[in-house]
């Protein structure tokens, strides 16, 4: 998984499955674009991603998460529940504003 933390007045945490980087998915009027300029970050293990989510959650960060492994890590960290996950062309994603 790739993690990119974008520092601003409210940190943005972009997490995606590595194999999705640079791909675009479309369904009906919706588009999920896994842009390198946004999601490219450091390669992390599941445990590292869970810890980052827990740390950044306490700082009221915004989260953009895409991909099966990344979404599952967010669920394990308690950030989201299964019913908050959406899919475009079978690719799960979630946006979280704290």
34-48 per-position pLDDT tens digit: 999 999 999 999 999
C-beta atoms surrounding 32 within 10 Å: 20
Is the pLDDT reported for residue 83 higher than 90? yes
Query: What is the C-alpha separation between 35 and 24, in angstroms, rounded?
Result: 8
Query: What is the C-alpha separation between 35 and 22, in angstroms, rounded?
Result: 5
Mean pLDDT of the chain: 96
CATH code for the domain defined by 2-97: 3.30.1860.10
Break the chain into its structural domains and give their ranges: 2-97
16-33 per-position pLDDT tens digit: 999 999 999 999 999 999
pTM above 0.75, yes or no: yes
């Amino acid at each position: 998984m790739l993690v990119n933390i974008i520092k601003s007045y409210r940190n943005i945490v972009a997490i995606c499955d590595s194999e999705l980087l640079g791909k675009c998915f479309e369904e009906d009027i919706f588009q999920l674009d896994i842009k390198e300029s946004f999601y490219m970050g450091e390669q992390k293990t599941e445990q590292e991603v869970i810890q980052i989510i827990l740390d950044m959650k306490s700082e009221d960060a915004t989260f953009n998460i895409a991909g099966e492994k990344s979404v599952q890590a967010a669920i394990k960290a308690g950030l989201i529940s299964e019913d908050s996950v959406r899919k475009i062309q079978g690719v799960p994603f979630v946006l979280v504003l704290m």
